[in-house]
Amino acid sequence: MNEGPGFGVYVHWPFCAAKCPYCDFNSHVRHQPVDQARFADAFARELATMRQRTGQRAVSSIFLGGGTPSLMEPKTVGTILDRIAAEWTVAPDVEITLEANPSSVEAERFRGYREAGVNRVSLGVQALNDRDLRFLGRLHTADDALHAIRLARETFPRLSFDLIYARPGQTVEAWTAELEEAIGHAADHLSLYQLTIEEGTPFFSLHKAGKLPVPDADRAADLYEATQEVTAARGLPAYEISNHAKPGAESRHNLIYWRYGEYVGVGPGAHGRFIEGRRRVVTFTERVPEAWLKLAEAKGTGVCGGETLTREEEADEFLLMGLRLAEGIDLQRYEELSGRALAPERVTILREEGLVTPLGNSRLRATPAGMVVLDALVADLAR
Ligand code: SF4
Protein backbone atom coordinates (compact mmCIF):
# COMPACT_ATOMS: atom_id res chain seq x y z
CA MET A 1 0.00 0.00 0.00
CA ASN A 2 2.91 2.34 -0.42
CA GLU A 3 2.37 3.94 -3.82
CA GLY A 4 2.38 7.77 -4.23
CA PRO A 5 -0.28 9.85 -2.54
CA GLY A 6 -2.36 10.50 -5.68
CA PHE A 7 -4.82 13.27 -6.55
CA GLY A 8 -8.37 13.27 -5.21
CA VAL A 9 -11.64 15.07 -5.74
CA TYR A 10 -13.91 15.53 -2.71
CA VAL A 11 -17.56 16.45 -3.34
CA HIS A 12 -19.63 17.61 -0.36
CA TRP A 13 -23.39 17.02 -0.36
CA PRO A 14 -24.54 19.06 2.63
CA PHE A 15 -28.07 17.79 3.32
CA CYS A 16 -29.34 15.25 5.85
CA ALA A 17 -32.80 13.95 6.69
CA ALA A 18 -32.23 14.88 10.37
CA LYS A 19 -29.36 16.26 12.42
CA CYS A 20 -27.68 13.72 14.70
CA PRO A 21 -27.08 15.15 18.21
CA TYR A 22 -23.31 14.47 18.17
CA CYS A 23 -22.64 15.80 14.67
CA ASP A 24 -20.58 18.91 13.96
CA PHE A 25 -20.19 18.29 10.23
CA ASN A 26 -21.47 20.79 7.71
CA SER A 27 -24.90 19.17 7.37
CA HIS A 28 -28.26 20.87 7.02
CA VAL A 29 -31.88 19.74 7.15
CA ARG A 30 -34.30 21.22 4.61
CA HIS A 31 -38.04 20.71 4.68
CA GLN A 32 -38.52 21.51 1.01
CA PRO A 33 -37.10 19.31 -1.78
CA VAL A 34 -33.61 20.39 -2.85
CA ASP A 35 -33.27 21.43 -6.51
CA GLN A 36 -30.68 18.78 -7.36
CA ALA A 37 -30.31 19.79 -11.02
CA ARG A 38 -29.43 23.33 -9.95
CA PHE A 39 -26.89 22.03 -7.44
CA ALA A 40 -25.41 19.69 -10.08
CA ASP A 41 -24.91 22.69 -12.40
CA ALA A 42 -23.21 24.62 -9.60
CA PHE A 43 -20.93 21.65 -8.85
CA ALA A 44 -20.01 21.57 -12.55
CA ARG A 45 -19.07 25.25 -12.43
CA GLU A 46 -16.94 24.86 -9.34
CA LEU A 47 -15.21 21.79 -10.79
CA ALA A 48 -14.32 23.79 -13.92
CA THR A 49 -12.84 26.55 -11.76
CA MET A 50 -10.80 24.03 -9.80
CA ARG A 51 -9.55 22.46 -13.03
CA GLN A 52 -8.25 25.85 -14.12
CA ARG A 53 -6.38 26.17 -10.85
CA THR A 54 -4.87 22.68 -10.69
CA GLY A 55 -4.15 22.12 -14.37
CA GLN A 56 -4.37 18.63 -15.80
CA ARG A 57 -4.07 15.84 -13.21
CA ALA A 58 -4.79 12.13 -13.04
CA VAL A 59 -7.62 11.65 -10.55
CA SER A 60 -7.02 8.53 -8.48
CA SER A 61 -9.95 8.93 -6.12
CA ILE A 62 -13.33 10.62 -5.91
CA PHE A 63 -15.23 10.81 -2.63
CA LEU A 64 -18.86 11.89 -2.32
CA GLY A 65 -19.22 12.79 1.35
CA GLY A 66 -21.60 14.76 3.48
CA GLY A 67 -24.12 15.31 4.85
CA THR A 68 -25.87 12.35 3.32
CA PRO A 69 -24.86 11.82 -0.32
CA SER A 70 -27.26 8.87 -0.55
CA LEU A 71 -30.03 11.49 -0.60
CA MET A 72 -28.75 12.41 -4.07
CA GLU A 73 -30.54 11.01 -7.08
CA PRO A 74 -28.29 8.65 -9.06
CA LYS A 75 -28.69 11.09 -11.96
CA THR A 76 -27.12 13.87 -9.85
CA VAL A 77 -24.21 11.59 -8.93
CA GLY A 78 -23.80 10.60 -12.60
CA THR A 79 -23.75 14.24 -13.73
CA ILE A 80 -21.08 15.16 -11.17
CA LEU A 81 -18.90 12.14 -12.03
CA ASP A 82 -19.19 12.91 -15.74
CA ARG A 83 -18.09 16.49 -15.09
CA ILE A 84 -15.05 15.33 -13.15
CA ALA A 85 -14.10 13.03 -16.05
CA ALA A 86 -14.54 15.93 -18.47
CA GLU A 87 -12.23 18.21 -16.48
CA TRP A 88 -9.37 15.87 -15.55
CA THR A 89 -8.01 12.51 -16.63
CA VAL A 90 -9.56 9.84 -14.45
CA ALA A 91 -7.31 6.85 -13.71
CA PRO A 92 -8.72 3.55 -15.04
CA ASP A 93 -8.66 2.06 -11.54
CA VAL A 94 -10.12 5.15 -9.85
CA GLU A 95 -11.77 4.58 -6.46
CA ILE A 96 -15.20 6.25 -6.30
CA THR A 97 -16.73 6.22 -2.83
CA LEU A 98 -20.20 7.35 -1.82
CA GLU A 99 -21.26 7.74 1.81
CA ALA A 100 -24.70 6.29 2.47
CA ASN A 101 -27.03 6.16 5.44
CA PRO A 102 -28.95 2.93 5.99
CA SER A 103 -32.19 4.91 6.29
CA SER A 104 -31.88 6.28 2.77
CA VAL A 105 -30.87 3.06 1.05
CA GLU A 106 -32.97 1.49 -1.65
CA ALA A 107 -31.93 -1.25 -4.07
CA GLU A 108 -32.86 0.78 -7.11
CA ARG A 109 -30.89 3.82 -5.96
CA PHE A 110 -27.84 1.64 -5.19
CA ARG A 111 -27.99 0.13 -8.68
CA GLY A 112 -28.20 3.64 -10.10
CA TYR A 113 -25.07 4.73 -8.19
CA ARG A 114 -23.23 1.65 -9.39
CA GLU A 115 -24.23 2.38 -13.00
CA ALA A 116 -23.03 5.97 -12.54
CA GLY A 117 -19.57 4.63 -11.63
CA VAL A 118 -19.53 4.37 -7.82
CA ASN A 119 -17.41 1.35 -6.85
CA ARG A 120 -17.18 1.71 -3.08
CA VAL A 121 -19.80 2.51 -0.47
CA SER A 122 -19.19 3.73 3.04
CA LEU A 123 -22.23 3.05 5.23
CA GLY A 124 -22.98 5.08 8.36
CA VAL A 125 -24.05 2.09 10.47
CA GLN A 126 -22.76 3.53 13.83
CA ALA A 127 -24.21 0.79 16.09
CA LEU A 128 -25.72 -2.67 15.74
CA ASN A 129 -28.42 -2.37 18.41
CA ASP A 130 -31.58 -0.27 18.37
CA ARG A 131 -31.16 1.24 21.82
CA ASP A 132 -27.81 2.82 20.96
CA LEU A 133 -29.01 3.86 17.51
CA ARG A 134 -31.87 5.74 19.16
CA PHE A 135 -29.44 7.32 21.63
CA LEU A 136 -27.26 8.47 18.71
CA GLY A 137 -30.34 10.01 17.08
CA ARG A 138 -30.06 7.81 14.02
CA LEU A 139 -33.11 7.31 11.84
CA HIS A 140 -32.37 3.65 11.06
CA THR A 141 -32.71 0.42 13.06
CA ALA A 142 -30.17 -2.40 13.36
CA ASP A 143 -32.28 -4.39 10.86
CA ASP A 144 -32.15 -1.48 8.38
CA ALA A 145 -28.36 -1.45 8.79
CA LEU A 146 -28.06 -5.18 8.10
CA HIS A 147 -30.30 -4.83 5.06
CA ALA A 148 -28.17 -1.96 3.75
CA ILE A 149 -24.96 -3.95 4.33
CA ARG A 150 -26.37 -6.94 2.39
CA LEU A 151 -27.51 -4.73 -0.45
CA ALA A 152 -24.21 -2.88 -0.61
CA ARG A 153 -22.29 -6.17 -0.71
CA GLU A 154 -24.41 -7.37 -3.62
CA THR A 155 -24.07 -4.12 -5.54
CA PHE A 156 -20.57 -2.71 -5.02
CA PRO A 157 -17.12 -4.26 -5.28
CA ARG A 158 -16.02 -2.61 -2.04
CA LEU A 159 -17.77 -1.81 1.22
CA SER A 160 -16.83 0.01 4.39
CA PHE A 161 -18.94 0.91 7.36
CA ASP A 162 -18.59 3.19 10.36
CA LEU A 163 -19.26 2.38 13.98
CA ILE A 164 -19.12 4.73 16.96
CA TYR A 165 -17.90 3.33 20.28
CA ALA A 166 -17.23 4.59 23.80
CA ARG A 167 -20.96 5.18 24.15
CA PRO A 168 -22.40 5.80 27.64
CA GLY A 169 -22.32 2.61 29.69
CA GLN A 170 -20.60 0.56 26.98
CA THR A 171 -18.46 -2.24 28.43
CA VAL A 172 -15.42 -3.75 26.76
CA GLU A 173 -17.30 -7.08 26.54
CA ALA A 174 -20.34 -5.55 24.83
CA TRP A 175 -18.18 -3.59 22.38
CA THR A 176 -16.04 -6.63 21.59
CA ALA A 177 -19.15 -8.70 20.80
CA GLU A 178 -20.57 -5.93 18.60
CA LEU A 179 -17.29 -5.54 16.77
CA GLU A 180 -17.02 -9.30 16.19
CA GLU A 181 -20.54 -9.21 14.76
CA ALA A 182 -19.64 -6.27 12.51
CA ILE A 183 -16.57 -8.04 11.15
CA GLY A 184 -18.74 -11.09 10.50
CA HIS A 185 -20.71 -9.01 8.01
CA ALA A 186 -17.68 -9.16 5.75
CA ALA A 187 -16.84 -5.55 5.21
CA ASP A 188 -13.29 -5.17 3.91
CA HIS A 189 -12.90 -1.86 5.72
CA LEU A 190 -14.18 -0.47 9.03
CA SER A 191 -13.99 3.07 10.40
CA LEU A 192 -14.26 2.87 14.18
CA TYR A 193 -14.59 6.23 15.92
CA GLN A 194 -14.75 7.02 19.60
CA LEU A 195 -17.76 9.14 20.46
CA THR A 196 -16.45 12.67 20.90
CA ILE A 197 -18.43 15.51 22.41
CA GLU A 198 -18.12 18.45 20.03
CA GLU A 199 -18.87 22.00 21.08
CA GLY A 200 -22.09 23.41 19.68
CA THR A 201 -23.88 20.05 19.47
CA PRO A 202 -26.86 18.96 21.62
CA PHE A 203 -24.59 16.28 23.16
CA PHE A 204 -22.22 19.03 24.28
CA SER A 205 -25.01 20.80 26.22
CA LEU A 206 -26.17 17.52 27.76
CA HIS A 207 -22.62 16.60 28.73
CA LYS A 208 -22.03 20.02 30.25
CA ALA A 209 -25.20 19.61 32.30
CA GLY A 210 -23.88 16.26 33.59
CA LYS A 211 -26.57 14.31 31.75
CA LEU A 212 -24.34 12.41 29.32
CA PRO A 213 -21.92 10.15 31.20
CA VAL A 214 -19.37 9.11 28.58
CA PRO A 215 -16.63 6.60 29.50
CA ASP A 216 -13.69 8.10 31.40
CA ALA A 217 -10.18 8.17 29.91
CA ASP A 218 -9.24 4.73 31.33
CA ARG A 219 -12.37 3.05 30.01
CA ALA A 220 -11.94 4.78 26.63
CA ALA A 221 -8.32 3.53 26.48
CA ASP A 222 -9.49 -0.03 27.28
CA LEU A 223 -12.10 0.19 24.52
CA TYR A 224 -9.47 1.48 22.08
CA GLU A 225 -7.12 -1.35 22.98
CA ALA A 226 -9.88 -3.95 22.57
CA THR A 227 -10.65 -2.44 19.16
CA GLN A 228 -7.04 -2.88 18.05
CA GLU A 229 -6.85 -6.44 19.33
CA VAL A 230 -10.11 -7.70 17.83
CA THR A 231 -9.57 -6.12 14.41
CA ALA A 232 -5.96 -7.31 14.16
CA ALA A 233 -6.92 -10.86 15.17
CA ARG A 234 -9.65 -10.87 12.52
CA GLY A 235 -7.41 -9.67 9.67
CA LEU A 236 -8.43 -5.99 9.61
CA PRO A 237 -5.54 -4.29 11.41
CA ALA A 238 -5.51 -0.54 11.95
CA TYR A 239 -3.72 1.24 9.12
CA GLU A 240 -4.70 4.59 10.65
CA ILE A 241 -5.85 5.56 14.16
CA SER A 242 -9.54 4.89 13.47
CA ASN A 243 -9.45 2.94 10.21
CA HIS A 244 -9.04 -0.79 9.74
CA ALA A 245 -8.81 -2.80 6.54
CA LYS A 246 -7.89 -6.07 5.00
CA PRO A 247 -4.53 -5.53 3.31
CA GLY A 248 -5.20 -3.85 -0.05
CA ALA A 249 -8.66 -2.60 0.97
CA GLU A 250 -7.49 0.67 2.56
CA SER A 251 -9.41 3.81 1.56
CA ARG A 252 -7.29 5.31 -1.19
CA HIS A 253 -9.05 8.61 -0.77
CA ASN A 254 -8.25 8.98 2.89
CA LEU A 255 -4.70 7.83 2.20
CA ILE A 256 -4.36 10.89 -0.05
CA TYR A 257 -5.07 13.08 3.00
CA TRP A 258 -2.85 11.15 5.37
CA ARG A 259 0.03 10.78 2.90
CA TYR A 260 -0.24 14.47 2.24
CA GLY A 261 -1.25 14.22 -1.37
CA GLU A 262 -3.33 16.77 -3.28
CA TYR A 263 -7.09 17.10 -3.52
CA VAL A 264 -9.69 19.60 -4.52
CA GLY A 265 -12.85 20.04 -2.47
CA VAL A 266 -16.08 21.21 -4.07
CA GLY A 267 -19.49 21.92 -2.60
CA PRO A 268 -20.60 23.77 0.56
CA GLY A 269 -18.00 23.74 3.32
CA ALA A 270 -15.46 21.63 1.38
CA HIS A 271 -11.71 22.02 1.86
CA GLY A 272 -8.99 21.47 -0.73
CA ARG A 273 -5.18 21.30 -0.65
CA PHE A 274 -3.23 21.31 -3.87
CA ILE A 275 -0.12 22.69 -5.50
CA GLU A 276 -0.63 25.94 -7.37
CA GLY A 277 2.31 28.00 -8.59
CA ARG A 278 4.71 25.55 -6.87
CA ARG A 279 3.25 26.12 -3.42
CA ARG A 280 0.53 24.22 -1.57
CA VAL A 281 -2.67 26.19 -1.23
CA VAL A 282 -5.61 25.53 1.05
CA THR A 283 -9.12 26.42 -0.11
CA PHE A 284 -12.39 26.42 1.75
CA THR A 285 -15.86 27.17 0.53
CA GLU A 286 -18.95 28.89 1.90
CA ARG A 287 -20.70 26.52 4.33
CA VAL A 288 -24.37 27.51 3.92
CA PRO A 289 -25.69 25.51 0.96
CA GLU A 290 -27.89 28.22 -0.58
CA ALA A 291 -25.19 30.89 -0.17
CA TRP A 292 -22.61 28.55 -1.74
CA LEU A 293 -25.04 27.90 -4.61
CA LYS A 294 -25.44 31.61 -5.35
CA LEU A 295 -21.68 32.20 -5.23
CA ALA A 296 -20.97 29.25 -7.53
CA GLU A 297 -23.61 30.48 -9.98
CA ALA A 298 -22.37 34.07 -9.94
CA LYS A 299 -18.61 33.53 -9.76
CA GLY A 300 -18.00 29.93 -10.80
CA THR A 301 -16.98 28.92 -7.28
CA GLY A 302 -18.12 29.13 -3.68
CA VAL A 303 -14.52 29.40 -2.45
CA CYS A 304 -14.58 32.07 0.24
CA GLY A 305 -11.14 31.74 1.77
CA GLY A 306 -7.79 30.05 1.71
CA GLU A 307 -4.09 30.57 2.04
CA THR A 308 -0.75 29.55 0.69
CA LEU A 309 1.12 27.44 3.20
CA THR A 310 4.68 28.19 4.23
CA ARG A 311 7.19 25.34 4.09
CA GLU A 312 7.01 25.04 7.85
CA GLU A 313 3.22 24.80 7.84
CA GLU A 314 3.37 22.15 5.12
CA ALA A 315 5.91 20.14 7.09
CA ASP A 316 3.79 20.36 10.27
CA GLU A 317 0.68 19.20 8.42
CA PHE A 318 2.66 16.38 6.83
CA LEU A 319 3.73 15.18 10.29
CA LEU A 320 0.24 15.50 11.76
CA MET A 321 -1.32 13.53 8.92
CA GLY A 322 1.42 10.95 8.36
CA LEU A 323 1.92 9.94 11.97
CA ARG A 324 -1.72 8.81 12.06
CA LEU A 325 -0.72 5.97 9.76
CA ALA A 326 0.73 2.61 10.77
CA GLU A 327 3.23 3.08 7.93
CA GLY A 328 4.39 6.36 9.51
CA ILE A 329 6.20 9.09 7.60
CA ASP A 330 8.96 9.18 5.02
CA LEU A 331 11.79 11.14 6.68
CA GLN A 332 13.27 12.21 3.36
CA ARG A 333 9.97 13.79 2.33
CA TYR A 334 9.78 15.64 5.63
CA GLU A 335 13.21 17.06 4.90
CA GLU A 336 12.20 18.09 1.38
CA LEU A 337 9.10 19.86 2.68
CA SER A 338 10.61 21.61 5.67
CA GLY A 339 14.16 22.12 4.44
CA ARG A 340 15.58 20.40 7.55
CA ALA A 341 15.67 17.00 9.18
CA LEU A 342 13.78 16.17 12.39
CA ALA A 343 15.98 17.01 15.36
CA PRO A 344 17.76 13.72 16.24
CA GLU A 345 17.82 14.49 19.96
CA ARG A 346 14.04 14.93 20.03
CA VAL A 347 13.52 11.69 18.14
CA THR A 348 15.81 9.91 20.59
CA ILE A 349 13.88 11.21 23.61
CA LEU A 350 10.53 10.24 22.09
CA ARG A 351 11.91 6.80 21.25
CA GLU A 352 13.08 6.33 24.80
CA GLU A 353 9.62 7.33 26.00
CA GLY A 354 8.15 4.65 23.75
CA LEU A 355 6.15 7.12 21.64
CA VAL A 356 7.84 6.70 18.24
CA THR A 357 9.76 3.93 16.56
CA PRO A 358 11.77 3.79 13.33
CA LEU A 359 10.68 1.62 10.40
CA GLY A 360 13.93 0.70 8.67
CA ASN A 361 16.25 3.64 7.99
CA SER A 362 13.85 5.85 6.14
CA ARG A 363 10.58 5.98 8.07
CA LEU A 364 9.34 6.89 11.52
CA ARG A 365 6.03 5.86 13.04
CA ALA A 366 4.08 6.58 16.20
CA THR A 367 3.73 3.61 18.58
CA PRO A 368 0.23 2.76 19.93
CA ALA A 369 1.13 4.84 23.02
CA GLY A 370 2.22 7.70 20.75
CA MET A 371 -1.03 7.55 18.75
CA VAL A 372 -3.00 8.28 21.91
CA VAL A 373 -1.12 11.58 22.42
CA LEU A 374 -0.54 12.39 18.76
CA ASP A 375 -1.12 16.15 18.85
CA ALA A 376 1.40 16.62 21.65
CA LEU A 377 3.82 14.28 19.92
CA VAL A 378 3.68 16.26 16.68
CA ALA A 379 4.09 19.55 18.54
CA ASP A 380 7.18 18.12 20.21
CA LEU A 381 8.68 16.76 16.97
CA ALA A 382 7.97 19.89 14.98
CA ARG A 383 9.74 22.29 17.35
S1 SF4 B 1 -26.18 11.67 9.06
FE2 SF4 B 1 -23.96 12.10 9.32
S3 SF4 B 1 -23.65 14.17 8.50
FE4 SF4 B 1 -25.87 13.89 8.79
S5 SF4 B 1 -26.29 14.76 10.79
FE6 SF4 B 1 -25.94 12.56 11.11
S7 SF4 B 1 -23.73 12.34 11.52
FE8 SF4 B 1 -24.07 14.41 10.68
Ligand 1 atom 2, closest CA = 67
> In a mutational test of the pocket of ligand 1, which residue from 23, 99, 140 has the highest number of ligand atoms less than 8 Å from its CB?
23
Q: Kindly state the DSSP code that residue 366 receives in the 8-state scheme.
A: E
**CB of 269 shorter than 6 A to ligand 1:** no
* pTM, 2 dp: 0.95
Ligand 1 centroid – CA 198 distance (Å): 13
pLDDT the model gives residue 2: 44
Ligand 1 centroid – CA 166 distance (Å): 18
51 φ, ψ to 5°? Answer: -60, -40
Give CA separation, 7 vs 11, 219, 252, 273, in Å.
14, 39, 10, 10
The segments of the chain whose pLDDT lies below 50 read 1-2
pLDDT the model gives residue 217: 86
**CB of 123 shorter than 6 A to ligand 1:** no
Asked if 30 and 36 touch (Cβ cutoff 8 Å), the reply is no
**CB of 25 shorter than 6 A to ligand 1:** yes
**CB of 193 shorter than 6 A to ligand 1:** no
How far apart CA 131 and CA 170 sit, in angstroms, is 12
**CB of 23 shorter than 6 A to ligand 1:** yes
Give CA separation, 369 vs 166, 224, 292, 331, in Å.
18, 11, 42, 21
Q: Where are the alpha helices (DSSP H) in the chain?
A: 36-54, 74-87, 107-116, 130-135, 142-155, 172-184, 202-208, 217-233, 252-258, 289-299, 311-322, 331-338, 344-352, 368-372, 374-382
**CB of 65 shorter than 6 A to ligand 1:** no
Ligand 1 centroid – CA 201 distance (Å): 12
Nearest to 9 by CA among 199, 274, 346, 241: 274
pLDDT the model gives residue 257: 97
> In a mutational test of the pocket of ligand 1, which residue from 25, 26, 193, 196 has the highest number of ligand atoms less than 8 Å from its CB?
25
pLDDT the model gives residue 1: 46
pLDDT the model gives residue 3: 54
Ligand 1 centroid – CA 53 distance (Å): 31
